[in-house]
Amino acid sequence: MTGNRVSYTLESTLASVNSAEETATRFAARSGFDEDEVMRISMAVREAMVNAVLHGNAYDPAKKVFLVFERTPGSLVITITDQGKGLDPSKIADPLAPENLLKQSGRGIFLIRSFMDDVQIRPLPSGTEMKLTKHVHGSSVDKQKEASQ
Amino acid sequence: MSMKANTRQVDGVTIVDLSGRITLGEGSVILRDTVRDLVGKGNKKILINLGEVNYIDSSGIGELVSAFTSVRNQGGELKLLKLTKKVHDLLQITKLYTVFDVKDDEAAAVKAFK
């Protein structure tokens, strides 16, 4: 799996969200993560895709979402890029604050940050790039690597 | 698996049995429409059974919160029943576990309504 990289160009639809989630589940499982970690990774990808499709591209059929899975020796890195109006990370409200606790929305990025080891949100000239990283801790992949050394 | 919702009455409490996934799109819409319909018909004691809900995303969590506040704003009560581990964990990390009244036993939950 070392150096494995797969990229997709997706329509701004709910079907793309579901498809990306399913792909993330398969990719994370193949990367050696356990069942709970696979669920967290696939949910983080789902939330990032919802953000890109709904809040970024606003379901605009002319705009695409670019999804990249990359398996490095120690991590799984997933990059989701939209072509929307851009997201300012400093303006993301804390959903745990008492005044926000009963709001209907605003938990997606919080969940992504809770489930991944590192989350980088980068505003682009047209759109937003979200890079999600999950480190492999004692996975079967690492064990295979150790065994081969 | 898409979501299904069935409602039944037990001792004046409306129990909504949900199964499947509560996610952006169909699942969230079914939950929203079901609760809106119940509130519109004057049901003020609503117990949402999540025992067969194996997945919920932030949109689904938002719909639960919205259902909770809309029932409360009408002078009613909404409680949750039988959380799966995944849903329980999500409500814990979003600090909503303490907002909702969560029950494990249906009979006890029905009795807990005022």
Chain B CB contacts of A56 under 8 Å are: none
Nearest to A131 by CA among A59, A92, A76, A91: A76
Nearest to A125 by CA among A84, A92, A64, A94: A84
Please state the rounded mean pLDDT for residues A90-112.
94
Number of domains composing chain B: 1
Pick the residue of A22, A104, A111 with the most B CBs within 10 A to test the interface with B by mutation: A104
pLDDT in tens, A20-42: 999 999 999 999 999 999 999 99
pLDDT in tens, B16-70: 999 999 999 888 899 999 999 999 999 999 999 999 998 999 999 999 999 999 9
CB contact under 8 A, A102 and B68: yes
Q: Is the pLDDT score of B114 beyond 80?
A: no
Please state the rounded mean pLDDT for residues A122-128.
94
Contact (Cβ atoms closer than 8 angstroms) between residue A52 and residue A84: yes
Q: Please, which residues have CB within 8 angstroms of residue A144's CB and are 6 or more apart in sequence?
A: none
Distance CA A24, CA A41 (A): 7
pLDDT in tens, B55-90: 999 999 999 999 999 999 999 999 999 999 999 999
Distance CA A146, CA B15 (A): 53
Distance CA B93, CA B107 (A): 28
Query: In this structure, what CATH number is given to the domain that contains residue B35?
Result: 3.30.750.24
Owning domain of residue B74: 4-109
Sign of the CA dihedral with B62 first, then A21, B97, and B41 last: positive
Question: How much is the pLDDT for B7?
Answer: 96
Residue B26 within any structural domain of the chain: yes
Contact (Cβ atoms closer than 8 angstroms) between residue B3 and residue B20: yes
Question: How much is the pLDDT for A90?
Answer: 85
Backbone angles phi, psi at B12, to 5 degrees: 80, 0
Q: Does A29 touch chain B (CB under 8 A)?
A: no
Contact (Cβ atoms closer than 8 angstroms) between residue A135 and residue A40: no
Q: Is the pLDDT score of A1 beyond 90?
A: no
To the nearest whole Å, the CA of B44 is away from the closest chain A CA by 19
Question: How much is the pLDDT for A23?
Answer: 96
Residue B114 within any structural domain of the chain: no
Pick the residue of B57, B84, B87, B99 with the most A CBs within 10 A to test the interface with A by mutation: B57
Contact (Cβ atoms closer than 8 angstroms) between residue B59 and residue A50: yes
Q: Considering the domain delimited by A4-148, tell me its CATH architecture.
A: 2-Layer Sandwich (3.30)
pLDDT in tens, A72-89: 989 999 999 999 988 888
Q: What is the mean pLDDT of chain A?
A: 90
Contact (Cβ atoms closer than 8 angstroms) between residue B24 and residue A50: yes
DSSP lists the bridge partners of residue B71 as none
CB contact under 8 A, A50 and B69: no
Nearest CB neighbour to A107, from listed B61, B68, B86: B61
CB contact under 8 A, B65 and A110: no
